[in-house]
Amino acid sequence: MNQILHNIKGDRWIWLIVILLSLISLLSVYSAIGTLAYKRGVGVESILMKHLAMIIGGIVLMYISHKLDYRYYSGISKLLMYITIPLLFYTLIFGSHVNDASRWIAIPGTGLSFQTSDLAKLALITFLARSLSRKQENIKDVKQSFIPIMGAVCSVFILIALANLSTALMLFGVSVLLLIIGRISIKQIAVTCLAGAILLTGVIFLGPRRKTYISRIHTFMHPEAANPDKSFQADHAKIAIATGGIFGKGPGKSNEVNYLPEAYSDEIYAIIVEEYGMIGGIILIGIYLFLLYRCIKIVTKAPKAFGALLAAGLSFSLTIQAFANMAVAVGLGPVTGVPLPFVSMGGTSMLFTSVAFGIILSVSRDIEDPKKVVVGEIKEVGNLATA
């Protein structure tokens, strides 16, 4: 045990945040899975143990990811992109359909499935970090830099948006932030945003889930005129938050878990506020803000452009997803299928989130080792001299 603790490197605050989120996840999921256990005809403890196994598996993956030098992810990113694009196509055609959306691929022989969009987020962010860091000398060259980068962003966006618009929009937003940090010109960023807007319009009005997207937008914009069945989830999330008060009803005393669909996943923040009150909700917001703060410190201290862009992209992705989930719960956005990172019950999504945490920790681990930074700078100077 002491040997493992000795080998744990990276930002200690991020490790603490992961532990806190794991504990919050176990408590809130345990409160929210009663109805799910009843529907499946199993005990609550059975589902909780599976969730605990996923958390432990995620932490193991995080440990392995943080031990790998983050520079290796530069080469891995190309392979991930080669795998991701065909997988997204395959998911749209042959993936499992849940709630009229084809987002999942079954893993043969395991009984598990995963959302290819989770892999796509990791692949695109690492690929953008690699491309932007390697093309800094000719970053404004349209043919050499802009077209390949824009093509990757728009391709992944449209393939995800056809089945999962909310995830696609968040990933597109993170990509634009990386383009800004990576010194892409304002004109080229504007072209990327225009292309994204055109694709978005096409998905909303012509895509296979156009009725669902239009209905959700209409329900959000005009809740008073919405069909009660359409606003059911949003209404009960608001009830959960309103009845939680300042201090909450107490652990395990939520009433809305019996009504809210996906209370253990998409709407888990509403359950947390109902049971732990406004104070619990604010504390959770503070944890994610502190995570963003620690990640920004890593970005500013990273000696290499690739490490800085990688940590920035992954941290923005995690925090934007967290605040999108909480915004939906309190009624600041239309209903989406976005889980709360490392808190919502989920299978492979938690594992991919853990890998993202591990990569951020790998960058911070490199910052903590001054010898590696000096050696890296000497090698880079030598390479430039040789060139």
Phi and psi at residue 363, to the nearest 5°: -65, -45
CA atoms within 13 A on the CB side of 329: 32
Mean pLDDT within 231-244? 88
Q: Is the pLDDT of residue 379 over 50?
A: no
Q: Is the pLDDT of residue 377 over 60?
A: no
User: Residue 175: which pLDDT band, with cuts at 50, 70 and 90?
Assistant: very high
Q: Looking at residue 230, what is its pLDDT? A: 75
Q: Is the pLDDT of residue 331 over 60?
A: yes
Higher pLDDT, 79 or 368: 79
Cα–Cα distance, 128 to 314 (Å, whole number): 11
Mean pLDDT within 154-168? 90
Residue indicated by tokens 């009624």: 331
Q: Looking at residue 372, what is its pLDDT? A: 52
Q: Looking at residue 197, what is its pLDDT? A: 93
Q: Looking at residue 108, what is its pLDDT? A: 67
Q: Is the pLDDT of residue 284 over 60?
A: yes
- Buried b / exposed e across 336-355, counting CB within 10 Å, b at 16+? bbbbbbbbbbbbbbbbbbbb
User: Residue 368: which pLDDT band, with cuts at 50, 70 and 90?
Assistant: low
Whole-number mean pLDDT of the chain? 85
Q: Looking at residue 387, what is its pLDDT? A: 36
Q: Is the pLDDT of residue 282 over 70?
A: yes
SS (H, E, C) the chain: CHHHHHHCCCCHHHHHHHHHHHHHHHHHHHHHCHHHHHHHCCCHHHHHHHHHHHHHHHHHHHHHHHHCCCCHHHHHHHHHHHHHHHHHHHHHHHCEEECCEEEEEEECCCCEEEEHHHHHHHHHHHHHHHHHHHCHHHCCCHHHHHHHHHHHHHHHHHHHHCCCHHHHHHHHHHHHHHHHHCCCCHHHHHHHHHHHHHHHHHHHHHCCCHHHHHHHHHHHHCHHHCCCCCCHHHHHHHHHHHHHCCCCCCCCCCCHHHCCCCCCCCCHHHHHHHHHHHHHHHHHHHHHHHHHHHHHHHHHHCCCHHHHHHHHHHHHHHHHHHHHHHHHHCCCCCCCCCCCCCCCCCCHHHHHHHHHHHHHHHHHHHHHCHHHHHHHHHHHHHHHHHC
pTM: 0.89
Q: Which of the residue ranges 126-130, 139-143, 208-212, 299-303 would you say has the lowest mean pLDDT?
A: 139-143
Mean pLDDT within 33-43? 85
Instruction: Work out the percent of the chain whose per-residue pLDDT is above 90.
Output: 44
The tokens of 370 are what? 């001054």
Strand partners, 113: 106
Mean pLDDT within 162-176? 91
Q: Which of the residue ranges 72-76, 224-228, 302-306 would you say has the lowest mean pLDDT?
A: 224-228
User: Residue 385: which pLDDT band, with cuts at 50, 70 and 90?
Assistant: very low
Q: Is the pLDDT of residue 212 over 70?
A: yes
Cα–Cα distance, 131 to 198 (Å, whole number): 24
Q: Looking at residue 380, what is its pLDDT? A: 40
Q: Looking at residue 27, what is its pLDDT? A: 93
Mean pLDDT within 144-169? 89
Mean pLDDT within 67-85? 90
Phi and psi at residue 319, to the nearest 5°: -75, -40
What tens digit of pLDDT does each residue of 86-130 get? Answer: 999 888 887 776 655 567 787 766 666 778 888 999 999 999 999
